[in-house]
Amino acid sequence: MEAWQSLVECTGLENRRPPVGGPEVRILSPPRILRTLLCGGKHHFLSLFLDSRLTLTMPIVPRVRFAPSPTGELHLGGARTALFNHLFAKKRNGKYFLRIEDTDVQRSKQEYVDQICYSLEWLGLKWDEPIVYQSKRRDHHHNAVRQLLQGGGAYRCFCTVEDLALKRDEAAKAKKLYRYSGKCRDLSDEELKLRLNRADPFCIRISVPGGKTKFTDSVYGKIEVDHKEIDDFIIQRTDGSPTYNFTVVVDDIDMEINWVIRGEDHLTNTPKQVIVYKALGSKPPRFAHLPMILGPNGQRLSKRHGAIGVQAYRDMGFLPEALLNYLALLGWSPGSDREVFSLKELTKKFSLDKVVKKGGVFDEKKLNWVCGQHMSGKSSQDLLNTMRELEPDWHSDQDENYLFNVIEMVKSRTKSLSELNDFSGYFFADPQSFDEKAVRKRWKDASVTKLMNRYWMSLHELTKWEPTALEEHLRTLAETENVSAGKFIHPVRIAISGHGVGPSLFDLMALLGRERVLRRMNYAIDNLPPS
């Protein structure tokens, strides 16, 4: 079994299982062939093996595409689809393409194209070749329609909207499922010529053959659809515009796409598309349909539960690698308890056989946790650089070493750059207000003020201003006053930061410096507790 797993990993073959009794692997002669196969190294080694029926199989270098429609911003579901395509291709030294499906002229907007491209680049999911715009391929679509018409794989349908509506009503009254009857499929040459001469409007339908469409989805397994359930669907509308299920097939054929990885909402389209592939004389690609991302209520993700544009997460200061990490965990399992990965690590571990059928539930707490782990794991220099990308002048007047220290103290308590900015405010400006809840709990009355005043006076005499000395001094004073160290620690934190929680008090005091600490304590002593 280990040999089999190694073979699968090396070749990029997914969802293959060894035959009963174990895999049968054979190297073909002559020896020159072996030398040729081995010379390319790990990523180019074409392993040849025989399955249980002794059928020669060779791995296919994947060519995948992410094909969004620019009718809105790139959301989390689309970003995850792009991510899985990217991971699948890069693990196997394949190609990852971006195709903009902008044939819906009324709804497609350039601003959405720009936003989608920007979001993908920000996430680090850069495509390998120039963008393919579906709208610029209209001639290819029409040529394919003509090919089917000439070969008898499609026909002109002159049925009017009114005719079809009447048939739908009749089916509904009879409590039957409506399907197009195919009445125009067998028009005589004379009638066809007559209608064309009269310039009767027509759409073009594909001639769905008898039989069944069968394919194996890498997530949902074997799919079988009887063609009796599929009517002769339209591939070109009366206005001359081709339909979605036709254009995507033509484009995928021309782009030599051999794997289609997309959301499960497209699963019902796949049988129709397989029919188009075969009608055009092309072998269908392999399919993998990804489970939907669900909200906490178990329904499709909505704006209320996180379905906002990827760019909004960028503007909120989330790290792109953290967002990718979280998206990868929605519907895919790494096969271990580990949950924090870089993009490089995800690429190495990703496989379609670990994609689950059950929809992943968007969990904001889990997202924040994953993002927090990435914040903690980044160097202060990297975080500063990233912060400066969002805000070029972020505390540019401060010493860089001071900024590094601030970031180091704060980053483990944050999930985003925005929080890092918010939580670090007191490092740069004296607090003008104090956490009311913390004050009520830790600075209840004048007795605390008396202790703080005593501590403030003693700090003037402290010769060594560093964390260890500061801690020893405070604890010694607490013993002298016969109180716990917490009686000093908590109020002091409130005084110098305005908050009830934060990094190590003594590290904070050392970094802020004597002057700032004494000034802030003096202000708090004069203003707390509130009257």
DSSP string, 412-427: GG-SSHHHHHHHTGGG
Look at the domain 436-527 and name its fold: Arc Repressor Mutant, subunit A (1.10.10)
Q: Is residue 30 over pLDDT 50? A: no
Confidence of residue 40 (pLDDT cuts 50, 70, 90): very low
Task: Provide the 10 A C-beta neighbour count for residue 231.
Answer: 17
Give 332's strand partners. 355
Beta bridge partners of 355: 332
Give 501's contacts (C-beta < 8 A, 6+ positions apart). Answer: 438, 493
Tokens of 428: 């740069």
Same fold, 131-290 and 436-527: no
Q: Express each pLDDT in 433-487 by its tens digit.
A: 999 999 999 999 999 999 999 999 999 999 999 999 999 999 999 999 999 999 9
C-alpha span between 262 and 219 (Å, rounded):
11
CA distances from 393 to 319, 386, 387, 431, 462 (A): 19, 12, 9, 22, 36
Do residues 509 and 405 lie in contact, with contact meaning Cβ atoms separated by under 8 Å? no
- Could you give the residue ranges of the DSSP H alpha helices within 60-137? 76-91, 110-123
What phi, psi does 219 have (nearest 5°)? -110, -45
Where along the chain do its domains lie?
2-57, 131-290, 380-427, 436-527
Q: What is the mean pLDDT of residues 41-63?
A: 51
* Residue among 303, 348, 357, 450 flagged as catalytic: 303
Average pLDDT, the chain: 88
DSSP run (H or E) holding 276: helix 270-279
CB atoms within 10 A of CB 254: 14
131-290: CATH topology is Rossmann fold (3.40.50)
- Report the pLDDT value the prediction gives residue 304, as an integer from 0 to 100: 59
Q: Could you tell me if residue 466 is left (phi over 0), alpha (psi between -120 and 50 degrees) or otherwise beta?
A: beta
- Inter-residue contact 137 to 104 (CB < 8 Å): no
Q: Which residues pair with 214 in a beta bridge?
A: 224
DSSP 8-state assignment for residue 231:
-
Residue 341 near residue 328, CB atoms below 8 Å: yes
Q: Taking Cα atoms as reference points, which of 418, 387, 237 lies closest to residue 317?
A: 418
- Whose CA is closest to 303, among 119, 76, 113? 76
pLDDT exceeds 50 at position 198 = yes
Residue 59: what pLDDT?
63
What is the Cα 186 distance to its own chain's centre? 48
What is d(CA 270, CA 507) in angstroms, rounded to the nearest whole number?
Answer: 60
Residue 12 predicted with pLDDT over 90: no
Contact 338, 144 (CB under 8 A): no
pLDDT category at 166 given cuts 50, 70, 90 is confident
Residue 394 C-alpha from the chain's centroid: 29
Residue 81: phi and psi, rounded to 5, are -60, -45
Q: How far apart are CA 71 and CA 309, in angstroms?
A: 12
Reply yes or no on whether 303 is catalytic.
yes
pLDDT of 16 strictly over 50 = no
- Judge if the upstream peptide bond of residue 130 is cis by omega within 30 degrees of 0: no
Instruction: Report d(CA 366, CA 279) in Å as an integer.
Output: 46
pLDDT for 18 beyond 80: no
Given this model, what pLDDT does residue 22 score?
A: 33
Question: Positive or negative, the Cα torsion across 19, 21, 22, 23?
Answer: negative
Cα 373 to Cα 318, 341, 369, 412, 463: the distances in Å are 12, 10, 6, 8, 38
pLDDT in tens, 310-332: 999 999 999 999 999 999 999 99
Note the pLDDT tens digit of each residue in 487-523.
999 999 999 999 999 999 999 999 999 999 999 999 9
CB under 8 Å to 115, separation ≥6 — which residues?
73, 74, 309, 311
Whether pLDDT at 130 is above 90:
yes
